[in-house]
């Protein structure tokens, strides 16, 4: 199978580091030096994860030349669903797009979500030949941030990315290979509050007292721990995928890694001894959009004309769970 089209959507409202520094004890210099981020897109009133996802999906369907009734499945990766957690955001998108022939569900694997979702769709298409699947990563993270916590709120932004996956006669010898992984012992390092466990007096993940009534969901992050995990895991995933193909990372044309922090990507490139320019980096203006970051990067790369048929690429994500996932493919086969 292959990716037939890509699309993405970023809200028009942009919030710069300077704007955050006007309300918090931080500076543009600190944020840029520690993260590589200068600004982020923020969903406005009336926008939500489903509306952004639908716009990205429409662009992907246009690019693929596929109509709504051709879509057999919608898998939407998100940690910030419109409703928590049902009806699924994928169902809301199904209705917005008029994909009446499609099954639809959300998938939650945090910032690894898009890679997990792509693998789900590949499995579906294997047993439903002739169908097409929409795979979407979409997030409205700015609605769950604690805007008084300078160590986390500066990191994230909103947006959506999507691909249409379908059959192809081209890739009979397709070399696509996937790694999905998790380490639930690291769950406390990044978590979103507001789930059913919160009715307990003490939150078992944080050890902190919790209200007996559900609170507004908030993202909580132990940045140091996630940073160390990310650098270790990202390099390992990319190297393991290459090993399966009997190639070295240097043979890769492009790596689309989750956009969490420029320093994580730089450290990974150093570890793998490959030039930094093999990595697509766009977080300066998007910040971390979690499950949307990889498909947004992929779409930018496709639309710039820079990603050409036959290029060896890896998509690699890591995040809360802890989770990680990577896919090696020869573009546009998957």
Interface with ligand UT7 in residues 246-285 (CB under 6 A)? 260-261
Q: Which is nearer to ligand UT7, 318 or 331 (CB)?
A: 318
Closest distance between ligand UT7 and the C-beta of residue 34, in Å?
4
Asked if residue 35 binds ligand UT7 (CB under 6 A), the reply is yes
Q: Which is nearer to ligand UT7, 88 or 261 (CB)?
A: 261
Asked if residue 223 binds ligand UT7 (CB under 6 A), the reply is yes
Sorted by sequence, the CB contacts under 8 Å of residue 285 that are 6+ apart come out as 14, 38, 39, 40, 41
Active site residue 224: no
Asked if residue 224 binds ligand UT7 (CB under 6 A), the reply is yes
Pick the binder of ligand UT7 from 100, 151, 248, 309 (CB under 6 A). Answer: 151
Which one of 99, 111, 153, 242 is the catalytic residue?
Answer: 111
Pick the binder of ligand UT7 from 107, 190, 237, 314 (CB under 6 A). Answer: 190
Q: Which is nearer to ligand UT7, 228 or 276 (CB)?
A: 228
Closest distance between ligand UT7 and the C-beta of residue 252, in Å?
22
Q: Which is nearer to ligand UT7, 103 or 181 (CB)?
A: 181
Asked if residue 227 binds ligand UT7 (CB under 6 A), the reply is yes
Asked if residue 150 binds ligand UT7 (CB under 6 A), the reply is yes
Q: Which residues pair with 164 in a beta bridge?
A: 5, 134
137 to 95, 106, 131, 179: CA distances (angstroms): 17, 10, 20, 18
Q: Which is nearer to ligand UT7, 176 or 193 (CB)?
A: 193
Asked if residue 329 binds ligand UT7 (CB under 6 A), the reply is no
Asked if residue 228 binds ligand UT7 (CB under 6 A), the reply is no
Sorted by sequence, the CB contacts under 8 Å of residue 13 that are 6+ apart come out as 41, 42, 43, 44
Interface with ligand UT7 by CB under 6 A: which range of 71-79, 146-154, 163-171, 266-274? 146-154
Active site residue 41: no
Q: Which is nearer to ligand UT7, 61 or 283 (CB)?
A: 283
Pick the binder of ligand UT7 from 13, 34, 232, 303 (CB under 6 A). Answer: 34
Asked if residue 178 binds ligand UT7 (CB under 6 A), the reply is no
Interface with ligand UT7 by CB under 6 A: which range of 112-120, 148-156, 179-187, 268-276? 148-156
- Rounded-to-integer distance, Cα 220 and Cα 210, Å: 13
Active site residue 34: no
Asked if residue 30 binds ligand UT7 (CB under 6 A), the reply is yes
Catalytic residues: 111, 258, 288
């Amino acid at each position: 199978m292959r990716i037939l089209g890509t699309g993405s959507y970023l809200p028009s409202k942009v919030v710069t580091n300077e704007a955050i520094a006007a309300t918090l004890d931080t500076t543009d210099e600190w944020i840029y030096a520690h993260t590589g981020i200068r600004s982020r897109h923020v969903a406005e009133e009336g926008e939500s994860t489903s509306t952004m996802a639908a716009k990205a999906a429409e662009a992907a369907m246009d690019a693929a030349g596929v109509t709504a009734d051709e879509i057999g499945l919608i898998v939407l990766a998100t940690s910030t669903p419109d409703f928590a957690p049902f009806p699924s955001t994928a169902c809301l998108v199904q209705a917005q797009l008029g994909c009446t022939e499609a099954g639809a569900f959300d998938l939650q694997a945090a910032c690894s979500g898009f890679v997990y979702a792509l693998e789900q769709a590949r499995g579906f298409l294997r047993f439903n030949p002739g169908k097409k699947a929409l795979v979407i990563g979409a997030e409205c993270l700015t609605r769950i941030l604690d805007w008084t916590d300078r160590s986390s709120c500066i990191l994230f932004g909103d947006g959506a990315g999507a691909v249409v996956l379908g059959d192809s006669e081209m890739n009979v010898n397709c070399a696509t290979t996937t790694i999905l992984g998790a380490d639930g012992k690291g769950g406390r390092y990044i978590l979103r509050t507001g789930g059913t466990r919160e009715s307990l007096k003490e939150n078992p993940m944080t050890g902190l007292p919790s209200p007996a009534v559900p609170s507004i969901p908030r993202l909580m992050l132990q940045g140091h721990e996630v940073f160390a995990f990310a650098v270790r895991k990202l390099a390992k995933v990319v190297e393991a995928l290459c090993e399966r193909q009997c190639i070295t990372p240097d043979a890769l044309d492009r790596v689309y890694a989750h956009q969490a922090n420029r320093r994580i990507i730089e450290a990974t490139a150093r570890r793998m001894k490959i030039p930094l320019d093999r990595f697509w980096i766009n977080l300066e203006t998007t910040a971390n959009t979690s499950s949307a970051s990889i498909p947004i990067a992929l779409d930018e790369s496709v639309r710039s004309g820079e990603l050409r048929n036959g290029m060896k690429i890896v998509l690699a994500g890591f995040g809360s769970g802890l989770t990680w996932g990577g896919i090696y493919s020869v573009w546009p086969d998957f």
